[in-house]
Structure 1
Amino acid sequence: MNGVNQKAATLETDLQGNIKLLQITDTHLFADPTVDLLGIKTVDSYDAVIKHAKKYTEQCSAVLCTGDLSQDHSAQSYSDFSERIKSLKMPCYWLPGNHDMQETMLPSLLEEGLSQAKQLISDDWQIILLDSQVAGVPYGYLSDSQLSFLEEKLLQYPDKYALVSVHHHVLPVGSAWLDEHILKNNKQLIDLINKFDNVKAVLSGHVHQAFDVEKQGTRYITSPSTCVQFKPNSDDFAVDDKAPGYRYLVLHKSGTITTKVERIEADEFVIDKNAIGY
């Protein structure tokens, strides 16, 4: 995200002072809507997730889209992503994943009117979005500039609770093949976070499964993809038969977080369970 305008955006709270959010991640869209990923037409499953998520339109402040928006790097896939996310009628804030091509992603999303803000502010909370992409490889790494950005924003608002969002998972999820593609300098990130007792959670995509573990007072949360799901606790590549989904979160004025995973109907899309990779 070189040259990204870091101007903060403001998040609206509900009448109780809480922030309600959606996380939509790993859409893996193609320019051609007839192309599938492991048996699932990703634009169709994304459509189904968006339709399901519209029940939250009236109550949520924003949707966080945590990377791998495109599978084929095309401007059309980013346009299709934007068209659908805007139908939720709430601000969308996004970050890149390992499958995204930022040279296409940024201008395409800006052309569609999506914000490039990477710091979101409310009375009691801030959300900081980080770029962990390493071009051409599946694992993640936070550059010195990204770590400095995070520290700067945490120091800026020591009185606010913080949610950090990054595409790559920070803690191992227990699947050997996925954990090879973890955030490689996760210790650096954790050490930095542990200097601040107000960082309540780190929210990621990437692993196509739900995960929620607390470590030294901070929750590390991942969420299902809108398309293919990966089977938990698998040494080798394996897909899961769970339905596509997304995550709903409430950042409470008190500093606690409540969250749940939502999924579409289980039999709406059928994955190729014999797949050995993608």
Structure 2
Amino acid sequence: MNGVSQTSTTITADLNGDIKLLQITDTHLFADPEKDLLGIKTVKSYDAVVKHAHQYAGRCEAVLCTGDLSQDHSIQSYTYFSERIKSLKMPCYWLPGNHDMQSVMLPSLLQEGLAQSKQIVSEHWQIILLDSQVEGVPHGLLSESQLIFLTEKLQEYPNKHALISVHHHVLPVGAAWLDQHILKNNKQLRALIKPFTNVKAVLSGHVHQAFDMTKEGVRYLTSPSTCVQFKPKSYDFAVDTQAPGYRYLVLTKEGDIITQVERINANEFTTDENATGY
């Protein structure tokens, strides 16, 4: 697991004091654009999602990409990711997922000009990006250094609303096969943020489905993948027929979060419904 980057950046809120964001996650890209994951050619579905997201170009302050950007760990897959995300013409902030190889991911994305910012600060909000990857396994864990980093950043801006972003989901989504790969020290994370009443939400990827639950005053959100969707409330591995998508968020000056899931045309990509794993 990598150490903590201290890189911080600022973004400017709109005229209302709000921050508008896109979340694009779990792209699972290959070097070969014709290669598929469970029946979906991930480069092409990612292209379609980014094309759909162009409706928000010029209206959002940033895009958050919450891990599993590559499926085959290739430089080319990260190049595909970068080239297309840059077409949105807004800053892109990213974090690793369990499928990413950070020794390839970091230099590849930096080479493409995608900064390794882990704290994003605006007039009324801060966004903190965490690394929950445990190399070689699908579940997540926040290292002691990540927990210290989070604590320090929350203490730094006690009067700003806070959004935390991490690849692995923090609350169970009700799908047993996915929930075994949850953030393993999720209770520790929840205990850490409990005294910080300015923490408004935790945003994750990993589960390839939309989820929205508020617990102890904190909203926990997950979002669709740009490729394969996993069936909600499924005990065993199961894919869903819903289309690839992404999430749009508005972080208001007052600390509220207005959000909606966007999906591309349902008939554009078809998952192999008989798949038993990947």
Answer whether TM exceeds 0.5 for this pair.
yes
Q: Distance in 2 between matches of 1:231 and 1:237?
A: 8
Q: Is the 8 A contact 2:73 2:100 kept in 1?
A: yes
Q: Distance in 2 between matches of 1:45 and 1:153?
A: 35
- Displacement of 1:2 in angstroms is 3.6
Q: Distance in 2 between matches of 1:124 and 1:268?
A: 39
- Displacement of 1:3 in angstroms is 5.7
Q: Distance in 1 between matches of 2:22 and 2:11?
A: 13
Q: Is the 8 A contact 2:3 2:146 kept in 1?
A: no
- Displacement of 1:6 in angstroms is 1.6
Corresponding residue for 1:247? Answer: 247
Corresponding residue for 1:53? Answer: 53
Q: How does 1:1-278 map to 2 (within 5 A)?
A: 2=2, 5-278=5-278
In structure 1, the residue corresponding to 2:182 is in which secondary structure?
Answer: coil
CA deviation vs aligned residue, 1:58-95 (integer Å, no higher than 9, x gap):
11000000000000000110011000000000000000
Q: Distance in 1 between matches of 2:217 and 2:255?
A: 12
Query: Aligned AA for 1:258?
Result: I
In structure 1, the residue corresponding to 2:44 is in which secondary structure?
Answer: helix
- Displacement of 1:11 in angstroms is 1.4
Give percent identity, aligned residues only: 75
Q: Distance in 1 between matches of 2:63 and 2:274?
A: 33
Query: Aligned AA for 2:18?
Result: N
- Displacement of 1:110 in angstroms is 0.1
What CA RMSD, in Å, does the superposition of the two structures yield over aligned residues? 0.8
Query: Aligned AA for 1:142?
Result: L
In structure 2, the residue corresponding to 1:48 is in which secondary structure?
Answer: helix
Query: Aligned AA for 1:38?
Result: L
Query: Aligned AA for 1:194?
Result: K
Query: Aligned AA for 2:256?
Result: T
In structure 1, the residue corresponding to 2:59 is in which secondary structure?
Answer: coil
CA deviation vs aligned residue, 1:94-125 (integer Å, no higher than 9, x gap):
00000000000000000000010100000110
Q: Distance in 1 between matches of 2:247 and 2:209?
A: 11
Residue segments in structure 2 that go unaligned for 5+ positions in a row: none
Q: Is the 8 A contact 1:27 1:226 kept in 2?
A: yes
User: If the length of structure 2 is used for normalisation, what is the TM-score?
Assistant: 0.99
In structure 2, the residue corresponding to 1:120 is in which secondary structure?
Answer: strand
Residue segments in structure 1 that go unaligned for 5+ positions in a row: none
- Displacement of 1:139 in angstroms is 0.1
- Displacement of 1:267 in angstroms is 0.4
Q: How many aligned positions are there?
A: 278
In structure 1, the residue corresponding to 2:88 is in which secondary structure?
Answer: coil
Q: Is the 8 A contact 2:98 2:138 kept in 1?
A: yes
Q: Is the 8 A contact 1:27 1:227 kept in 2?
A: yes
Q: Is the 8 A contact 1:66 1:205 kept in 2?
A: yes
